[in-house]
Amino acid sequence: MLLGKYLDENISRCETLFTCNQDSMFILDIEGHVVQVNPAFEKISGFSTEEAKQLKLQFLFPIDNVNKVFHHFHKAVLGQFQNFDCKMMNKNGQLVDLNVTNIPISMNDQIVGVCAVGRDITALKRKKEEIRKIEEMQRILTDDVLDVIISTNMQGEILYVSPSCEHILGYTEDEVINQNSLTFIHPDDKKKAYMNRKKSLDTLGNGRDCYRVRKKDGEYVWMESLCKPIIDTETLLVLEVVSVIRDISKQTKVEEEAKKREETYRDIVEYSPDAVFIARGNKILFINETGAKLLGATKKEDILNKKVIDFFHPDYHEIAKKRIKVVTRGDTTDFYEYKLICLDGTVFFAEVKAIPTIFQNKPAKHIIIRDITEQKRTQELLLNSEKLNVAGQLAAGIAHEVRNPLTAIKGFLRLMEAQADNNQTYFEIIKSEMDRIELILSELLVLAKPHELKFEPVDLNRLIDSVKTLIDTQAIMNGVHIETSYCAKNFMINCDRNQLKQVFINILKNAIEAMPKGGVVTIELKKHSFNKIKLLFKDTGKGMPQDILKRLGEPFFTTKEDGTGLGIMISKQIVENHEGTIHFWSDQKGTIIEVILPLMRPKQV
């Protein structure tokens, strides 16, 4: 009430001051109700006088400013002048920065209200913020420890240098101003720097290059320079060239070290006795000499960029993929036995291990392959020779222990046969059984006497022909036809004629026995390499399943009712005694047996 009276009395007096004031003014009663506002307030707040009169103080200010506003309002109600900055919310919800002065209104020594004068300082604040940003920008540009900013004129003379120059290069501003920028550049890099600058001036584009810059202490450091001509927009002439140069010696060192490391790594890998390749994803990026050879490539390019998985036998794809995942996760895998495939399709056994590595700055896999074909063969040989030893000892024992009683039995049998007229069939059976015992004994004796070999030059073609003649009758009786195919004549080998004959007879007998309903056996003779000859015995018999194939060569292993299970074992040993090899392949359509023997050298013939 009192305030109303006061206003009635005073506002008319200060009409102009109130209505024409640039600053917004609003008058509040001591409870904080808006009682009067001026046009400047209407303008800044967007509220009309009528609307403003309905407003409570707290609705004019954002929530985080309300406390502050009330604090200063109360102080004013207590009679103190207040001045503070705050934000006010206009009708549209936008914030306005205000500097507010609260003036207590008193009447008869009693505070009846507060006149708040708000000055819009939004523009001022914005300006301040802009200045702060510019200052910050300048600080970053000039003080940043890594960069030096240099401005040069068209002649290359330094017009300006940022303070960071002293910190980085050691020169004070006075030491470089008016000097030609090229004087600080390493003699070997001067031309490059000059050309770079010229190019930038000619094209009016940015230039970027690296050169060595001399520091005040005489040391040269590698710096990267970015330069840009500044152009007068009116005359289109170049005013100056601004360059930002940065010390990259540390970076260059790191890069050089990384390069060196990679070179050393490459060397280690390249000369590793193991086959190594480096792959990313499924792609081979690098392979060493040993690796290329192992996989049957004449040059590395035949393998590079190929898929890793293509070199694994399909049976091993699943496990290979699983283990690739382990490496991708960053773990190393142990050596694992795989079947791998060469470029020409040959399959071999190898142990493979993979290690996560970094190649050309990106994660990759370092894959080590160890060919274990030889190892496997040696193992097999060891196993076989062990068995052979046992068999040999057995053979010697049996030969001695059985032969003598057998001779006695035979003699007495003959006597009994002469005296008895009946039971002839019994005698026949006994005789045939004894023949069989003798057959086994004679086969075993070959084993027991491997040292009594008589090597001589033998014409292999003729040897095979003689074996064929020998076995043809048996073959024809079984409906088997034996064919020979020689790619040349007079293959001379150094061998024990009878032992080799034994081998071929064993093989051919097995072939005939595998074809109870008849069939064809082909004997092929061809050159294997410049000093070896290859013999292939192919039959059209019932073949062997994998489990039998694996056991071939074990002493006494047979699938036949009347078999001895010694034929292949003996043949194997004889071939090996001749420094040859024997291999078997088989499926339901038949069996192929490959015998490789060394040829005699011409001067031996």
Q: Which residues bind ligand ADP (CB under 6 A)?
A: 506, 510-511, 514, 539, 541, 543-544, 548, 552, 557-560, 563-569, 591
Read out DSSP for 420-457? --S-HHHHHHHHHHHHHHHHHHHHHHHHH-TT----EE
By beta-carbon proximity to ligand ADP, the closer residue of 357 and 573 is 573
CB of 521 to ligand ADP, least distance (A): 9
d(CA 334, CA 336): 6
Count the residues of the shown chain that bind Mg ion, applying the rule CB under 5 A: 2
Which one of ligand ADP, Mg ion, none is in contact with 548 (Cβ closer than 5 to 8 A by kind)?
A: ligand ADP
Considering beta carbons, is residue 156 or 543 the nearer one to Mg ion? Answer: 543
Report the nearest approach of ligand ADP to the CB of residue 566 (Å): 6
8 A C-beta contact, residue 284 and residue 301: no
Tell me how far, at minimum, the Cβ of 540 lies from ligand ADP, in Å. Answer: 10
Stretch that binds Mg ion, among 315-323, 504-512, 517-525, 527-535 (CB under 5 A): 504-512
Is the dihedral angle over the CA atoms 526, 529, 535, 536 positive or is it negative? negative
- Residue 170 or 543 with smaller CB distance to ligand ADP: 543
Of these partners, ligand ADP, Mg ion, none, which one is at the site of residue 599 (CB under 5 to 8 Å by kind)? none
Burial of 103 (0-12, 13-18, 19+ CB in 10 A): middle
Q: Mask of contacts with Mg ion, 520-559, x by CB under 5 A? A: ----------------------------------------
3-state class (DSSP) for residue 276: strand
Choose the binding region for Mg ion from 306-314, 382-390, 475-483, 502-510 (rule: CB under 5 A). 502-510
DSSP class per residue in 213-251: EE-TTS-EEEEEEEEEEEE-TTT--EEEEEEEEEE-HHH
Nearer to Mg ion by Cβ, of 63 and 477: the residue is: 477
152 binds Mg ion (CB under 5 A): no
Minimum CB separation from ligand ADP for residue 407, in Å?
25
For Mg ion, the closer CB: 180 or 558: 558
Burial of 545 (0-12, 13-18, 19+ CB in 10 A): exposed
What residue 111 binds from Mg ion, ligand ADP, none (CB within 5 to 8 A, per partner kind)? none
**What DSSP assignment string belongs to 36-76?**
EE-HHHHHHH---HHHHHT-BGGGSS-HHHHHHHHHHHHHH
**Residue nearer to ligand ADP on the CB measure, 568 or 599:** 568
Residue 579 Cβ, how far from Mg ion at the closest point, in Å?
23
Q: How far is the CB of 575 from ligand ADP (least distance, A)?
A: 13
Q: Where are the alpha helices (DSSP H) in 82-189?
A: 122-143, 164-169, 173-176
Tell me the per-residue interface mask from 320 to 359 with Mg ion, x by CB under 5 A, - otherwise.
Answer: ----------------------------------------
Q: Which is nearer to ligand ADP, 36 or 506 (CB)?
A: 506
497-513 vs 460-477: helix crossing angle, rounded to 10: 30
Token code pair at residue 258: 């990384």
314: Cβ–Cβ under 8 A, 6 or more apart, which residues? Answer: none
Minimum distance of Mg ion from residue 303's CB (angstroms): 44
Q: Tell me which of ligand ADP, Mg ion, none is bound by residue 544, counting a contact when its beta carbon lies within the kind-specific cut-off of 5 to 8 angstroms.
A: ligand ADP
164 binds, among Mg ion, ligand ADP, none (CB under 5 to 8 A by kind): none
Selection from ligand ADP, Mg ion, none that 560 binds (CB < 5 to 8 A by kind) is ligand ADP
- Judged by CB under 5 A, the residue of 510, 540, 573, 586 near Mg ion is 510
Whether residue 226 contacts residue 148, with contact meaning beta carbons closer than 8 Å, is answered with no
In contact, 198 and 204? CB cutoff 8 Å? no
Minimal distance, residue 567 CB to Mg ion, in Å: 3
Beta bridge partners of 287: 277
Identify whether the C-beta of residue 86 lies closer than 8 Å to the C-beta of residue 98. yes
Contacts of 3 (CB under 8 A, 6+ apart): 27, 29, 30, 35, 105, 107, 112, 113
Measured at the CA of 538, the angle between CA 536 and CA 542, to 5 degrees, comes to 150
- Tokens matching residue 129: 């913020």
* Amino acid identity for residue 511 in this structure: A
| Binding site partner of 341, from ligand ADP, Mg ion, none, Cβ cut-off 5-8 A by kind | none
Residue 466 Cβ vs Mg ion, minimum distance, rounded to whole Å: 19
Give residue number: closest CB to ligand ADP: 567
Contact between residue 555 and residue 387 where contact means Cβ atoms under 8 Å apart: yes
**Which residue, 228, 224, 225, 182, is CA-closest to 203?**
228
Nearer Cβ to Mg ion (274/576)? 576
Q: To the nearest whole angstrom, how small is the minimum distance from the Cβ of residue 486 to Mg ion? A: 25
Please list every residue from 44 through 83 that binds Mg ion, using CB under 5 A: none
Per partner kind, with CB cut-offs from 5 to 8 A, the member of ligand ADP, Mg ion, none near residue 389 is: none
Q: Which of 566, 572, 562 is nearest to 442 (CA)?
A: 566
Q: Residue type at 442?
A: S
591 binds, among ligand ADP, Mg ion, none (CB under 5 to 8 A by kind): ligand ADP
> Which of 278, 282, 303 is CA-nearest to residue 292?
303
* Nearest distance in Å: CB 508, ligand ADP: 9
By a kind-dependent CB cut-off of 5 to 8 A, residue 565 interacts, out of Mg ion, ligand ADP, none, with ligand ADP
Distance in Å, CB of 383 to ligand ADP, minimum:
16
In angstroms, give the least distance from the CB of 589 to ligand ADP. Answer: 11
Say if residues 537 and 593 touch (Cβ distance below 8 Å): yes
Q: Does 567 bind Mg ion (CB under 5 A)?
A: yes
Q: How far apart are CA 353 and CA 117, in angstroms?
A: 82
When CB distances to Mg ion are compared, the closest residue is 567
Would you tell me which residues interact with Mg ion (CB under 5 A)?
A: 510, 567
